[in-house]
Amino acid sequence: MTSRPDSAARTAVGQVGGVDSLDPVPHLPEPRDRAAPYGVVMVCTGNICRSAMAHAVLVDRLAAAAVPTTGPGGVVVTSAGVSDEETGNPMDPRARRILAEGGYGIGADAAARAVAAVINAHAAHRISDAELRSADLVLAMTTAHLRALLRRAERLGVDPGRIRMFREFDPEAATTTPAGGTAPGAPAYPADRADLDVPDPWYGTVADFVDTLDVVERVSDALAPALTQLTGTPGATP
């Protein structure tokens, strides 16, 4: 599973509204260690809906592009929550259903097997201090998550430029670059950009999970090639 038909037309690098228009590579934090895989952590509230879906979809895109999960040029994707209220719980069944209906984790190819493993093994947890310290890129689903993560990052001495909004990479979201900046890799938006929030489908219906998947796919379609370009993955398929 690499792209649903309704999203395929908007995913190519270099298209208007695609990766190049967002200029993603300069806005991605440099790897902490180029001898190790680049670590991406998706973060939402409880880690059973938005971040879990984003985890699975980005794994799909990277696996389909033959991006390894080990060594130089590799990318490792994980997910977590800012709360421990869902600790140990699997992915929300509605999220699993929508992913399955989209073809994720279905089939015998390497990408499908990788995604199925992510979905089946998922156990929600609160992001740890160790995860914050070691991640190359932490992607928050809402500004509330962003603020919570930035507070912890300040206490831990973590570069705030590594903590970003997930929808910064959404081709359908308007991004603005503030004048100046306080840290390398500073985000291209102020911290109160609530219009970049990914709404929580947990409170809604299956249709809300479909909407969430649409957002997740758009971002993943832009983020995967940006990560591949940044890490210089040898042999990866753009």
Task: Dump pLDDT digits (tens) for 162-196.
Answer: 999 999 999 998 655 443 334 445 554 555 678 89
Structural domain that includes position 118: 5-231
Residue 130 pLDDT exceeds 80: yes
- Virtual CA dihedral for 231, 190, 47, 97, nearest 10 degrees? -80
Is residue 54 situated within a structural domain? yes
pTM of the model as a whole? 0.84
Q: How many separate helices (H) and strands (E) can be counted in the chain?
A: 9, 4
Is residue 199 situated within a structural domain? yes
What's the confidence (pLDDT) of residue 190?
Answer: 54
Is residue 92 situated within a structural domain? yes
Is residue 237 situated within a structural domain? no
CA distance 100 to 75: 24
Question: Percent of the chain scored above 70 by pLDDT?
Answer: 79
CA distance 238 to 223: 11
Question: Angle at CA 209, nearest 5°, toward 7 and 217?
Answer: 25
Average pLDDT over residues 99-110: 96
CA distance 149 to 151: 5
Q: Check the CA dihedral 19-178-38-119 and report its sign.
A: negative
Q: Which helix (H) or strand (E) holds 138?
A: strand 137-140
pLDDT digits (tens, 9 = 90+) for 59-80: 999 999 999 999 999 999 999 9
Is residue 81 situated within a structural domain? yes
* Alpha helix (H) residue ranges in the chain: 5-8, 19-22, 24-27, 50-64, 93-101, 110-121, 129-134, 143-156, 206-231
Is residue 238 situated within a structural domain? no
What's the confidence (pLDDT) of residue 209?
Answer: 98
CA distance 125 to 123: 7
Phi and psi of 39, rounded to 5°? Answer: -100, 125
Q: What total of structural domains would you count in the chain? A: 1
Query: In this predicted model, which residue has the larger pLDDT, 236 or 149?
Result: 149
pLDDT digits (tens, 9 = 90+) for 5-34: 333 323 333 332 333 334 433 379 999 999
CA distance 7 to 61: 13
CATH classification at residue 29: 3.40.50.2300
Is residue 125 situated within a structural domain? yes
What's the confidence (pLDDT) of residue 99?
Answer: 98
